[in-house]
Amino acid sequence: MPALFQLLGQDARLAIRLARRFPLFTCLVLLTIALGVGASTAIFSAVDAVMLRPLPFARGDRLVSLWATNPDKTVPRFGVSYPDFRDWKTRTRTFTDMSLYVGTNATLIASGEPENVADLMVTANFLHVLGVAPLVGRGFGPEDERGEASNSVLLSYGYWQRRFGGQRSVIGSTVTVAGRPRTIVGVLPPGAALLGPAFVGSPLDVMTVVEFSTYSNVERHAQHLFGAVARLKDGATLDQARADLLRTEVQVATENPEIAGWTASVFLLTDDLSLNTREPLLILLGASVLLLAIACINVANLLLVRGAARSREIAVRRALGASRGRLAVQFLVESVVLAVFGGAAAVGLAAIAIHGIRGMLPFGVIARSDDIGLSVPVLLFALGTSVLAAFAFGAWPAFRAGASPRLDEELRDRSQAATRSVGRRALVVAEFSLALVLLVCAGLVWQSVRRMLRVDPGFTTDHVVTASITLGNRYPDSTGVAFYRQLLTDLEGRRDVVAAGATDTPPVSGGGIFTSIRLIGQPPRPADQPLMSTIRSITPGYFAAMGMHLLAGTDLSWNEPTSSIVLSKSAATAFWPGQPVTDKQLGFNVQPKTFPIVGEVSDTRQASLATAPAPIVYVSMRRYARLFHTMTLVVRGRGTTASTVATIRGALRDIDPALPLYNVQTMQSIVDQSTAQPRLDITLLGMFALAALILAALGVYGVISYSVTQRRQEIGIRMALGARSSDIARMVLREGGLVGIIGVAVGLGVALVAARLIRSMLFGVTAADPATFGSVAAGLLLVALAASYLPARRAARVDPLAAIRAE
């Protein structure tokens, strides 16, 4: 064994001397390895943080999320009603405990300064279910069981550091949250920061106990307002939990006709946290693996070229008694040494890429994105990938070195050198094929993003500013409506404001209410097949502020005798095709009260620019005033964004200076945020594709250049027999073009399969888009010819006499 290590040490020292002897070659190899390993390491760091890393809670693998599921199963993750939750808790047998939560915004006042905070309202057992212990102080106790009687508040670690400087003396002090004095009883640990993106949609600030009595009709089974988490019992499987909850909810739905047909779903909490990022991350990881494969092929080609240049050295060593296995081991050790140094460079490159990726992600919105970094698993991945890459690109050169001819054969016959390049051409063909796959996928996604950005959202964004206000418990229902009426009327009366309105959910931001409706005058639908629609709560003036067009009827009015409804064009067409809707009425769930439809308005994109307009029911805010103490103002101004914001702040200050204005942004920025994920995808895919294209071009150049060098005597003889320089150039270009054609032909078939795997990232373009496939194929062929141009030019200038004499 010591002798083996001694031999390996000798080979490693020889590899280092060779690397120093040929610095340009070494730098090219190390850069190629760093590019392939670094890209895959950077993407793996995101996969590890978001998908693979265990939750920072006690036995986090036993945590699950519980959701209601609508009758037609189109929305498997629907909100949970409070009565359903109570029935689940008492009737199921596979959970140790379960808890409800809802994210909201609240005004917090400490030392007289009002501030908007992200508040996660939970049942008192929430931390116990998660297995989380406060870092400082205590959690919620028995006195907090009823939210209405609870005066406790927990701070997130980040908010504690930012607002109170991390001082422990803050425990026991009093702050006002949503107009109510509360005592700070504890601070959550840093690991609980993921609760914000997961359950609130923004960085978490505080946690309070939910007050169910503040929600309208909270005792109705059809009022799906909350999320739920639970902990599985020891020995209970996920499938058993699903069957248990499904059986229970079917019983509950049978007992309560208003939710007939509703069921329930159970998902691992880790799966829910990565729900929106899992597929894009896996696609990007696959793209980085393709780039790594291309890099390995390129390095293998470079090592083969160097191995051919060392053929006489190898033959001499064979003549001196070196075995084929000994030579193969030496070449493998050289590959490992290069891979280790290349892997070290890859870690540095990955660190830069990770920093860039984190900078492009919206802060605090993607769960666990703060954990993306060079953790121990990521570093081990980089090391393992480097070693695997070493064997991947070093195996063939090692085999060829071991199979090299003896000295007498090498000196007697050099004509075999040209035939040895067949293997190198095969590698370049594979490299070209993989590059085409990456380029086609990047091209399809780029086409999708380009078309998405050209979509008409259904509103205009020029000079439109949005800002959020949370009224809190200081404003009961009637005074809340009066507050918004006064504020918006004041704004519309100012010279620099064109129009002003408010909504519970701005367009292209997702969320909002999705509930069952009844079309009055039409035959009732079966109880287990309700008609579902998106509901938006708005104020008068909203359509004008958004630049939307009334197609029929009138806008909502502050003076209307009862809550009125305006339908989007898609809703009018779906609900009453070919009929006017302004004389119709609509109801919600099984409630007997109906509401008049007073108008029809143009469609807008609601979930995202990539999602077709869906039916939307716009309801006067007064119907949901109790639910929506938080509203988003939409103000169209005449001046700059700064002047419009100053006008909004001034109008709010005149009415209630204690209310903070937060989440201030332009409507254009909201639209831009809705396309942030696709733009990030195309940025990373485009970088991978560009790197693959460069490596493929270098591969073609290398194999054609080496071929010209090996065929120098043949070229000299051809020219001596009358071949012109242009004939020689065409011959070399034809060789490069043939490599490109074969690579493109093989790659097109693989790309067709790969394109189907990224269909979820495509918009407005098919996975087999002929324009994209054709342009990428033609472009790659041009790259192959361009990469062959310099070797062809060099071949055309060969001096026949010098070439023949040299041989």
Distance CA 327, CA 318 (A): 8
Amino acid present at 371? D
Q: Assess whether 805 and 771 both reside in one domain.
A: yes
| Pairing state between β 180-187 and 152-155 | parallel
Please write the tens of the pLDDT for every residue from 646-671: 999 999 999 988 888 988 999 999 89
Decide: 448 and 761 in contact? Cβ < 8 Å.
Answer: yes
Decide: 258 and 219 in contact? Cβ < 8 Å.
Answer: no
For residue 744, what are its two tokens?
């493109």
Q: 405-413 long-range CB contacts below 8 Å, 24 or more apart?
A: 405/311, 405/315, 405/318, 406/315, 406/318, 406/319, 407/312, 407/315, 407/316, 407/318, 407/319, 408/319, 409/315, 410/311, 410/312, 410/315, 411/312, 411/315
Task: Reply yes or no on whether the pLDDT at 513 is more than 60.
Answer: yes
Amino acid present at 159? Y
Q: Is residue 691 part of a domain?
A: yes
Residue 407 pLDDT class (50, 70, 90 cuts): very low
Please write the tens of the pLDDT for every residue from 599-636: 999 999 888 888 888 899 999 876 665 555 788 999 99
Boundary of a domain, candidates 658, 692, 727: 658
Task: Reply yes or no on whether the pLDDT at 116 is more than 60.
Answer: yes
Distance CA 244, CA 247 (A): 5
Q: Assess whether 252 and 309 both reside in one domain.
A: no
Distance CA 654, CA 659 (A): 11
Q: Which residues 6+ apart lie within 8 Å of 179 measured at CB?
A: 107, 472, 473, 474
Angle between helices 376-402 and 278-309 (to 10 degrees): 30
pTM above 0.75, yes or no: yes
- Backbone φ and ψ of 592, nearest 5°: -70, -25
CA 680 → CA 50, 442, 514, 794, distances in Å? 16, 12, 29, 42
Q: Which residues 6+ apart lie within 8 Å of 787 measured at CB?
A: 697, 698, 700, 701, 704, 736
Task: Reply yes or no on whether the pLDDT at 129 is more than 90.
Answer: yes
Q: Assess whether 614 and 510 both reside in one domain.
A: yes
Q: Assess whether 132 and 257 both reside in one domain.
A: yes
Q: Is residue 489 part of a domain?
A: yes
pLDDT mean over 522-548: 88
Residue 47 sits at the vertex; the CA angle it makes with 41 and 48, to the nearest 5 degrees, is: 85
Q: Assess whether 644 and 707 both reside in one domain.
A: no
- pLDDT of the residue at 97: 95
- pLDDT of the residue at 417: 47
Q: Assess whether 230 and 305 both reside in one domain.
A: no
Task: Reply yes or no on whether the pLDDT at 36 is more than 80.
Answer: yes
Detail the DSSP E strand segments found in 471-615: 497-503, 513-519, 531-538, 550-553, 565-568, 585-588, 594-601
Q: Is residue 61 part of a domain?
A: no
pLDDT mean over 765-782: 91
Task: Reply yes or no on whether the pLDDT at 403 is more than 60.
Answer: no
pLDDT mean over 130-140: 94
Among 6-20, 101-115, 490-504, 524-538, name the one with the lowest average pLDDT. Answer: 6-20
**439, 382, 339, 288: which is closest to 32 by C-alpha?**
339
Residue showing tokens 């670690």? 157
Q: Helix-strand-coil percent breakdown of the chain, rounded to 5? A: 55, 15, 25
Write the secondary structure of 61-106 as one string of H (helix), E (strand) and C (coil).
Answer: HHEEEEEEECCCCCCCCECECHHHHHHHHHHCCCEEEEEEEEEEEE
Q: What percent of the chain has pLDDT over 90?
A: 35
Distance CA 634, CA 548 (A): 12
Q: Is residue 108 part of a domain?
A: yes
Q: Assess whether 206 and 101 both reside in one domain.
A: yes
- pLDDT of the residue at 72: 83
Residue 550 pLDDT class (50, 70, 90 cuts): very high
Residues paired with residue 595 on neighbouring β-strands, in sequence order: 586
Q: What percent of the chain has pLDDT over 70?
A: 88
Task: Reply yes or no on whether the pLDDT at 491 is more than 90.
Answer: yes
Q: Assess whether 515 and 569 both reside in one domain.
A: yes
Residues paired with residue 233 on neighbouring β-strands, in sequence order: none
Please write the tens of the pLDDT for every residue from 255-292: 998 888 899 999 999 988 888 788 888 888 889 888 88
Q: Assess whether 608 and 687 both reside in one domain.
A: no
- C-alpha R_g of the chain: 34
- pLDDT of the residue at 414: 46
**303, 302, 311, 300: which is closest to 402 by C-alpha?**
311
Please write the tens of the pLDDT for every residue from 700-721: 877 777 777 767 777 777 777 7
Q: Report the chain's mean pLDDT, rounded to a whole number.
A: 84
Among 22-26, 416-420, 456-460, name the one with the lowest average pLDDT. Answer: 416-420
Residue showing tokens 């006499």? 801
- Beta carbons within 10 angstroms of residue 592's beta carbon: 6
> Which is it for the CA torsion 408, 410, 411, 413, positive or negative?
positive
Task: Reply yes or no on whether the pLDDT at 418 is more than 50.
Answer: no
Domain tally for the chain?
4
Distance CA 83, CA 77 (A): 17
Q: Assess whether 37 and 110 both reside in one domain.
A: no
Write the secondary structure of 112-158 as one string of H (helix), E (strand) and C (coil).
Answer: CEEEEEEEEEECCCHHHHHCCCCCEECCCCHHHCCHHHCCEEEECHH
Task: Reply yes or no on whether the pLDDT at 783 is more than 70.
Answer: yes
Q: Assess whether 617 and 483 both reside in one domain.
A: yes
- pLDDT of the residue at 722: 74
State the Cα torsion 588-589-591-595 to the nearest 10°. Answer: 10
Most confident of 157-161, 308-312, 519-523, 670-674: 157-161
Angle between helices 676-710 and 278-309 (to 10 degrees): 10
Boundary of a domain, candidates 632, 658, 684: 658
Q: Is residue 273 part of a domain?
A: no
Which domain does 299 fall in, by range? 1-56+281-413
**447, 442, 431, 426: which is closest to 287 by C-alpha?**
442
Detail the DSSP E strand segments found in 520-629: 531-538, 550-553, 565-568, 585-588, 594-601, 616-620
- Beta carbons within 10 angstroms of residue 120's beta carbon: 24
Amino acid present at 458? G
Boundary of a domain, candidates 658, 684, 704: 658
- pLDDT of the residue at 549: 93
Residue 410 pLDDT class (50, 70, 90 cuts): very low
Q: Assess whether 430 and 407 both reside in one domain.
A: no
pLDDT mean over 133-143: 93
- Beta carbons within 10 angstroms of residue 27's beta carbon: 12
Residue 324 pLDDT class (50, 70, 90 cuts): low
Decide: 212 and 83 in contact? Cβ < 8 Å.
Answer: no
Distance CA 176, CA 183 (A): 9
Distance CA 266, CA 247 (A): 12
- pLDDT of the residue at 603: 93
Q: Which helix (H) or strand (E) holds 272?
A: helix 269-273
Q: Is residue 157 part of a domain?
A: yes
- pLDDT of the residue at 429: 85
